Amino acid sequence: MTAITQPASLEQKPIGPTKIHTVQGGGGLRLHVREWGRADGPPILFLHGLSQSHLCWAKQYQSALADEFRLVACDLRGHGMSEAPLEPDHYTDGELWADDVAAIIEHLRLDRAVLVGWSYGGFIICDYLRAHGQHRVAAIDFVGGAVNLGGKAFGTLIGPGFLDHFADAIADDLPTNIRAMRALVKAWPAKPFPPDDLETLLCSSMTVPARIRANLAAREIDGDDVLRTLEVPLLVAHGRADTVVLPAMAEHVLAVCPTAEPSWYEGVGHTPHLEEPERFNRELAALTRRVSA
Q: Is the pTM of this model over 0.85?
A: yes
pLDDT surpassing 80 at residue 108: yes
The pLDDT tens digits for 65-91 are 999 999 999 999 999 999 999 999 999
- pLDDT of the residue at 214: 97
Q: How confident is the model at residue 17 (pLDDT cuts 50, 70, 90)?
A: confident
Strand ranges in the chain using DSSP code E only, listed in sequence order: 2-5, 17-24, 30-37, 43-47, 70-75, 113-118, 137-143, 148-149, 221-222, 234-239, 260-265
Q: How confident is the model at residue 5 (pLDDT cuts 50, 70, 90)?
A: very low
pLDDT surpassing 50 at residue 261: yes
- pLDDT of the residue at 1: 52
User: Of all helices (H) and strands (E), which one includes residue 195?
Assistant: helix 195-206
- pLDDT of the residue at 249: 98
Please state the rounded mean pLDDT for residues 147-160. 95
H helices of 83-120, in order, are: 94-108
Sorted by sequence, the CB contacts under 8 Å of residue 244 that are 6+ apart come out as 119, 144, 158, 159, 161, 162, 184, 187, 188, 269, 270
Sorted by sequence, the CB contacts under 8 Å of residue 251 that are 6+ apart come out as none
- pLDDT of the residue at 8: 39
Please state the rounded mean pLDDT for residues 48-75. 98
Please state the rounded mean pLDDT for residues 115-137. 98
